[in-house]
Structure 1
Amino acid sequence: MNKKYTYVWVSLIVLIFGIIVIPMIVEKITKGEVVDKDRMVPYSERDSLAYITINGNKRKVPSFEFIDQDSLVVTDKDYLGKVFVVEFFFTSCPSICPIMTENLVVLQNEFADEDFGIASFTITPQYDTPSVLKKYAEDKGVTDMDWHLMTGDRDVIYELANSGFNIFAAEVPDAPGGFEHSGLFALVDKQGYIRSRKDEFGNPIVYYRGAITQEMGVNSEGEKEQISILKEDIRKLLQE
């Protein structure tokens, strides 16, 4: 008799579970909430982009004012309202800069009709005058009016690179072209905050590798290209 009643109670509990819980699960699936929390989806794809912080403060693009390839004054305020990518390069670079520029042209074309821009700062301003930058832009296929290749005071540019963005740039006689710099891109949102996706551990990757094309896939050090994920993240910020 006791065993019989046990079966009755178990059946009743299962019935109540089905009446209460199953409709909630169906509702979550309908709203897409289950998909959003699916652990099979990579961490960086299912979460919003991280803010880069220092001492708990969101890191914003430092103020700047330079001259671009059209001899126009460009400041950080000209980029407000746009998602943009930042790089440091030089036109006579014999190594990674041509690859970085190629990747930026891909991004330019991908987001041609969007509120998107690119900020390229030369680390050899003594050589990269507006006319030199203009010729470089024409040769490389720079067509977007919101892609500014900028030159100015050398010390100010290096301060912007090394302290403002923490993207390394230095004069190194033994380096290719006499200068050494990282091939990294910084991603900035419409309010001027530096943003990035998170890695599988939930930590911001901070910057994106700019010296590996999607076609290359990986470089000689085994590092994977990040232009594909940069495209995804630009799209996320454009939709915010």
Structure 2
Amino acid sequence: MNKKYTYVWVSLIVLIFGIIVIPRIVDRLSSGSVVENDRLNSDSKDTSEEKLGYILLDGKRRRVPSFEFINQDSVLVSDKDYLGKVYVVDFFFTRCPSICPVMTTNLVNVQKHFKDAKDFAIASFSITPDFDTPQVLSAYGEKYGINDANWNLMTGNHEGIYELANAGFNIFAAEMADSPGGFEHSGLFALVDKEGFLRSRIDEFGNPIVYYRGAILEEKGVNDHGETEEIGILKVDIQKLLEE
């Protein structure tokens, strides 16, 4: 084909494109539809990934089981007292020579961070209830600077506490003679929302992380095994639940 006619056809096609297509693009830009549908994936942000997930059991959202124990002030405390509050749960014992001091220090850190949040609380359960009387728990609280009225250090029925730890929260606790202090337990924290459901952030594979590492100091960052502290992300996630 003659070059002259080729140029004419190309020019005609460009003209038709400008008349038909460009006005449509302009209309979509002005309406915002290009922003929603045409941007690259790397530019779009899926806000659903920022929401905390629910912990499921048999396809149902897992709720904190009922409990009722005595706190450091000899006051009876139950799960119902925590409804309407976002709270962190841990299992510890006052004579623990290993991870408990770190866990409590981290929780005191969290306590200070949310000192003005009236709907934030902490629930700590002793796995040596026979020794950890309300008086012992009160002294432990004074030692570590536990001064939030919404932080209960609880003691009570031995079987009830172990049932709550191992079956209720799936946070391991057991008597083991070879372990430091004679007991073995997990250094994990559980996070509960205002309705009593267990919550956590979603990992890169779309699954909830379930628990937060509590036995690594936030200021330390990483432990000797290369595991990263999770108090920083716990604070972020507590705030998300407080704002729900």
| TM-score scaled by length of structure 2 | 0.90
* Counterpart-to-counterpart distance in 1, 2:101 and 2:155: 18
Provide the residue aligned with 2:80 in structure 1. 77
Instruction: Decide whether aligned partners of structure 1 residues 17 and 225 sit closer, same or farther in structure 2, where only a CA change above 3 A counts.
Output: farther
Assess if the C-alpha contact under 8 Å between 2:28 and 2:34 holds in 1: no
1:111 aligns with 2:114: yes
Tell me how far 1:214 sits from its aligned partner.
Answer: 1.4
Q: 2:216 aligns with which of 209, 212, 218?
A: 212
Residues 1:3 and 2:5 aligned together? no
Shift in Å, 1:37: 3.9
Deviations 1:143-192 (A, max 9, x none): 00000000001111000000000000001111111111110000000000
1:89 counterpart = 2:92: yes
SS in 1 for 2:189: strand
Shift of 1:12: 3.0
Identity of aligned residues (%): 59
Counterpart of 1:107 in structure 2: which amino acid? V
Is residue 243 of structure 2 the alignment partner of residue 239 of structure 1?
Answer: yes
In the alignment, the residues of structure 2 paired with residue 83 and residue 160 of structure 1 have an alpha-carbon distance, to the nearest angstrom, of 19
TM-score of the superposition, structure 1-length normalised? 0.91
Q: Which amino acid aligns with 2:67?
A: F
Aligned pairs, how many? 232
Greater CA radius of gyration, 1 or 2? 2
For the 8 Å contact 2:29–2:35, the answer to whether it is kept is: no
- Indicate the residue corresponding to 1:159 in structure 2: 163
Q: How does 1:1-240 map onto structure 2 within 5 Å?
A: 1-25=8-32, 37-38=44-45, 46-114=49-117, 115-240=119-244
Partner of 2:3: none
Q: Residue 155 of structure 2 aligns to which amino acid in structure 1?
A: T
State the distance in 1 between where 2:133 and 2:215 align: 24
Q: Contact 2:64/2:198 (CA < 8 Å) preserved in 1?
A: yes
Gaps of 5+ in 1: none
Distance 1:64 1:217, change over 3 A: same
Specify whether residues 172 and 111 from structure 1 end up closer, same or farther in structure 2 by C-alpha distance, changes over 3 A only: same
* 3-state SS of 2:69 partner: strand
Q: Secondary structure at the match of 1:195?
A: strand
Q: What is the aligned-residue RMSD (CA, Å)?
A: 2.1
Q: Secondary structure in 2 aligned to 1:66?
A: strand
1:4 to partner: Cα distance: 2.0
Greater Cα shift, 74-83 or 105-114: 105-114
- Report the AA paired with residue 3 of structure 1: V
Q: Structure 1 pair 54/70, CA: closer, same or farther in 2 (3 Å)?
A: same
User: Does the C-alpha gap of structure 1 residues 13 and 102 become closer, same or farther in structure 2, counting only changes over 3 Å?
Assistant: farther
> In structure 2, the residue corresponding to 1:229 is in which secondary structure?
helix
Q: Where does structure 2 lack aligned partners over 5 or more consecutive residues?
A: 1-7
1:27/1:233 CA distance change after superposition, 3 Å? farther
Judged with a 3 Å threshold, the aligned counterparts in structure 2 of structure 1 residues 26 and 183 are, in CA distance, closer, same or farther, namely same
Checking the alignment, whether the CA contact within 8 Å between 2:216 and 2:223 is kept in structure 1 is yes
| CA 145–202 in structure 1, closer or farther in 2 if over 3 Å, else same | same
- Distance in 2 (CA, whole Å) between partners of 1:200 and 1:91 is 36
Q: Which amino acid in 2 is paired with 1:55?
A: D
SS in 1 for 2:98: coil
